[in-house]
Structures are given as C-alpha cells and as structure tokens.
Amino acid sequence: MDKKQLTELKLQATRCRLNVLRMVRAGGHGHIGGAFSAMEIVTALYFYKMNVDPQNPRMPDRDRFILSAGHKCLAQYAALAEKGFFPKEVLDTYGSLGSHIPGHPDMHKLPGVEANTGALGHGLSIANGMALSLRLDGKPSKVYVVMGDGELAEGSNWEAAAAAAHHKINNLVAFVDFNGLQISGRVQDVMNMTPIADHFKAFGWDTVEIDGNDMAQVVDVLDRAPLSDKPLMVVAHTVKAKGLSFGENDVAFHFWNANEEQLAQAERELSELAASYEKELKGE
Amino acid sequence: MIGNYEDPRKVFGKAVGDLAMDDDRIVLLSADSGKSSGFGDFMKAHPERYFEFGIAEQGVVGVAAGLATTGKIPVFCAIAPFVTARPYEMVRNDLGYMGQNAKIVGRNGGISYSDLGATHHSLDDFGLMRLIPGMTILCPQDPNEIRSAVKAMIEHEGPVYMRIGNPKIPNLFEEEEFVIGKGRKIREDDSVTLITTGVATKAAMEAADKLAEQGISVDLIGLPTVWPLDEEMILASAKKTGKVITAEEHYAYGGLGTMVGDLLAEKLPTPLKKLAIPNTYATSGPYDAVLSYYGLDAQGIAKSVADFVK
C-alpha cells in the first residue's frame, strides 16, 4: 500500500472518530474508550478490505463484520455512516427514544449490522456459523470479528475457539482489541487472560500480534489472512480511547459522560488532525 | 386408540433426516448428541451438513444463529435442559432477538430422564422459552405428531423449541397435517375442561375414561403447540364447562398451566387447577413411578379431576 492510500485510511479513521464525537454530543455519553481503540481495525475493514455495498447491504456474497464486543458499536456506527449505509443525521439520534443506533447494535434497526451483540462472548460462535455456511455454499466471503480483551473471560469464547480450530474455519479472522483496560481496571488485574496469542495458538489457531492503532500493520495482516487452513487470531495491541488526547489509556474513558469543555477540545483536535491529512493528500 | 409404540428420538431423527435429504438448507448440529438424537443415517449420507461441536451447547446455539443468517435451517437436538437452561442467553439473544430461523429440540424432556436426577430434568423449559419473544414451543403427544410437527417446524419461519421424550410411546392419533397453534379436541364433553400436552396426554385420555365411568364428563384438549396457545379452543371450552384443569410434566409455575391461567385471567376468569411437578428438585426413580409420585399418571389425574369437580 502506498503512502497516499495509507493517509486516506488515516483520514477515514479520523473522520470516524469525529462521527463518534457527534454521537456522544447527541447522547451526552458513550463507550468511547473501546470505540477509539478499535477504530483503525474497523476503518481498515470497512474502507480497505471488506466486500460490502451500502446500496445492497444484504448482498449474499458480502464479507461479514461481527462486533462481538457490542459496546464498541460507536466505532461501527461511525464507519457505516461514513461508508453511506445510512444518513449521517441518524448519528444525531444517539441516546434518543427509539434510535436506530442504540447502545448496542441491533441488526433489525440499522443496515450493515449483522448480529445483535452486547452480551459478551456471543460473537465468535455466531461468526463460526456464518463462516461454516459461507464455506458450505462455496462463497468467497470472509467473516471478521472484533472482540474485547476483557470479554475473553467469558467461557463461551473458548467453546467457539475450539470449534473454529476443530473445523478449520479459515475464512474467519478475529481481532482482540487488546487495550488492556476494562471497567474495573487493568485486564491483567481483573482476570488475567494473557498470553492471549498463546491461548489461541494452543487451541489450534494461527496468531499474529500487531500494533492495532498502526494502520499499516492492520492493513498488512488483513492482506495476509488466512495464513493457513487455520482460523486467524490477530492480537491487536491498542490504546484505550486512542485519539482522545486527555483520555488515552485511562479507564475512566471506558464509558464517557462527556462535559462540554472536553468534548469541544476533542472535536477541535480531531478536526485539526483531519485537516492536516487532507492537506497532505492535496500535496500542500 | 392405542397404536404401536415407537422411540420418540428415532422418530424425530428420521423425520428430520428425511426432510434434510431433499432440502440442503437443513443442517444438523450436535453437542456430542447427534447419534442419540436419531441423526445417525443422515450423518453418513451428508457429513457435509452435519456438524459436531462436542459438549458445548452455548457455542452450538451461536453457531446455529450464524448459519441461519445465511439462509440455512439449523436443527440442534440434545438433552432438554442443556439446550434451554444451559444456553438460555444464546437462545434469547442469538435466536430470539436476532429472529433467526433455527430449531432447538430438547429430547429426554420433562422428567423422562427420571433416574438421572434433577440436573437432567427439564421442568422449566416451557417457561423459559415462552419468555423469549417470537419463540414457538411444540410438544407433540405421540409419534405421529412428532413426524408432522417436524415438518411444521421446518416450514415455520422463525425460532422453534420442540420438546420430545425418551421412552417409547404409543401412537394415539392418525398422522395428519400439523398446524402450529392449533389444539386437538380429543374428547368433547361438558363438566370440566382438561388440558394437556406431550406424553401427559396419554395419561389424561386414560383418566378421562376412568372419570366417565364415575359420571364425570371431561372436555379433553391436547396441545401439541404449547405456545402460542390455541386461545379459541381453550376459551370456548372454559366457557362451556366453567372449570379448567391442566396436566403437564413441568413445574406448576411458568408452564402450560400458567399460560392457560394468564389467558383465563385476562379474557374469561375461570377456576383453574394445575397438575404439575411442585416447585422442587424432583425426586429420581423409574419414570412411571416418578410420574405416579407426583400424581401425573392416569390414576393421579383422575383423582385430582374428581376432587376438583366435587
């Protein structure tokens, strides 16, 4: 990938972060920490890798995106809006009665959402079923999953991990957004699930570790998958609330009850970042 | 009529397998439970549409949801408590909330795994499944109804839970088209309404015969669909008799009796008695002995009905 393409993706990720702020402004709060830590992964999937069509969201041959950690949905909503799955005005309904973008995603309310996640530890098994079916039908589609690191304590994930390896579901690529923080504190203090890659490797997966906030590394691993006949687990080392200058790596921003001063600061800083990418792309 | 006895699991497995042979949307899922669910022949004929996951019921329900999103019709059969209580959140969210066309079948249902103890009894499955919006609950009463219910279950668009038993049961009715939500009027009479489902229906039929000898005429309704209820049939009968009694292999709380009670309370307040397992971890022992212990055999039902109409 050339530098220009990479800058374009970084610009998209920044625009998506601004979309998240738009939703937080509408609702006054939101799970921003995980949405921002996973933003490079979500952006690379929607704007670089996945075969999806906003005009035909149920296209049978599409790739699937399952947000197992459903509370990161602001990232998905931001990307779907930016991609044109629905009008951006919908972002302004976040937190309102009957909104199409509730606090966890609902496939019946929003085009582009593939599963109703939010209860943790469900996504990987759902993805297994999708991937098995797509393989059975001879379709080229891939299934991509984004999980949280705190989520790994849910035992159901390990049923799914065993099944994916046993059935050699290699049209499946899963990311763990390893930002290291969950509501009560550091993941390693709450319930240590490390070494994450070793666990999945022992179950029979291919594993890769990357800097999940480095767009080039995310793109590279997406281009390499699958590595073999095994499912691929990408342990993406990320920073919680990445891009929120005053909130990075601070568990207080797992769920943010935004105040105006900080929200305005974040909007200003990310707008400036987007402008700098735009300038770079124009060759200025 | 008491016809030949058949193994409900084999009848079920063959019925599903026969349909799946000709319908490649149907996929069968196993949690180390496929052979015992009667899927043996299909496994050999179509291994590509038979998936084993080991003893991992939560995972299997999620997989079923994923398969269904792409147009498959997954059928997952295992021991009843392990496909209902164990993976409840997956059934609720991944099948119910996601509205997926997957079929969950609990075998060895009710208290039919009597001697294996309370871990293997499913006396709360109707209640749990009924609380899931959009869920249909089937509980066929004889082998012929299992065969026709399987067809209806596959044709029905949406999640279905079906409960079947374990020991051989006799055919009670001719095989005919199964209409989900329709009850079966087994005996038309006017002094008391008796409503049953599943294998309790046979005992209820025998009880009705005994009661007739005592001059108690039973309007007997068998419900192979537990949910949604056949409201029309139940209300018409209740209006006629003014007394309703239910009999089922389930807890008295949350089961068929509760559903009938909810209906009557709302639309036609009528005295109701519920024959069921009390709210306890049921005792173990031979199936017939356990049913008798809880008054769910023909003699027990007849006695309760007679007491109720006094």
| pLDDT tens, residue by residue, B130-171 | 999 999 999 999 999 999 999 999 999 999 999 999 999 999
Please name which of B165, B199, B201 lies closest in space to residue B9, comparing C-alpha atoms.
B165
Q: Domains of chain B: which residue ranges?
A: 7-170, 184-309
In this structure, is the dihedral angle defined by the CA atoms of residues B29, A159, B126 and B287, taken in order, positive or negative? positive
- Cβ pair A244, A218 in contact under 8 A: no
Q: Does A162 touch chain B (CB under 8 A)?
A: yes
**What average pLDDT does the structure give for chain A?**
97
Please determine, for residue B1, whether its predicted confidence score (pLDDT) is greater than 90: no
Partners of A114 on chain B (C-beta within 8 Å) are 69
Per CATH, the homologous superfamily of domain B7-170 is: Thiamin diphosphate (ThDP)-binding fold, Pyr/PP domains (3.40.50.970)
Please determine, for residue A172, whether its predicted confidence score (pLDDT) is greater than 70: yes
Average of pLDDT values for B207-224? 97
Average of pLDDT values for B63-67? 98
Please determine, for residue B2, whether its predicted confidence score (pLDDT) is greater than 80: no
| C-alpha to C-alpha distance for A89 and A107, rounded to whole angstroms | 19
B184-309: CATH class: alpha beta
Quote the number of domains for chain A. 1
Q: At what angle do helices A123-136 and B57-69 cross, to 10 degrees?
A: 50
CA distance B58 to chain A (A): 6
- Cβ pair B231, B274 in contact under 8 A: no
Please determine, for residue A35, whether its predicted confidence score (pLDDT) is greater than 90: yes
pLDDT of the residue at A76: 98
pLDDT of the residue at B35: 86
Q: Which string of DSSP letters, residue by residue, matches B98-146? A: TT---EEEEESTBTTSGGG-GGG-BSSHHHHHHTSTT-EEE--SSHHHH
B59:A128 CB<8 A: yes
Q: Which domain holds residue A147?
A: 3-282
B94:A116 CB<8 A: yes
- Cβ pair B260, B211 in contact under 8 A: no
Burial of B139 by CB count in 10 Å (0-12 exposed, 13-18 middle, 19+ buried)?
A: buried
Same fold, B7-170 and B184-309: yes
Partners of A132 on chain B (C-beta within 8 Å) are 51, 63, 66-67
Q: Are strands A143-148 and A172-178 parallel, antiparallel or unpaired?
A: parallel
Partners of B94 on chain A (C-beta within 8 Å) are 115-116, 122, 125-126
Partners of B65 on chain A (C-beta within 8 Å) are 115, 125-126, 129
pLDDT of the residue at A160: 98
Residue A128 binned pLDDT confidence (cut-offs 50, 70, 90): very high
CA distance A219 to chain B (A): 26
Over residues A76-123, the pLDDT tens digits come to: 999 999 999 999 999 999 999 999 999 999 999 999 999 999 999 999
| pTM summary value | 0.97
Q: How many percent of chain B have pLDDT more than 90? A: 96
CA distance A160 to chain B (A): 6
A125:B59 CB<8 A: yes
Please tell me which residue of chain A has the smallest CA distance to B56: A159
Average of pLDDT values for B285-301? 97
**CATH number where A83 lies:** 3.40.50.970
Of B67, B89, B99, the CB nearest to A129: B67
Please tell me which residue of chain A has the smallest CA distance to B30: A163
Q: Does A61 touch chain B (CB under 8 A)?
A: no
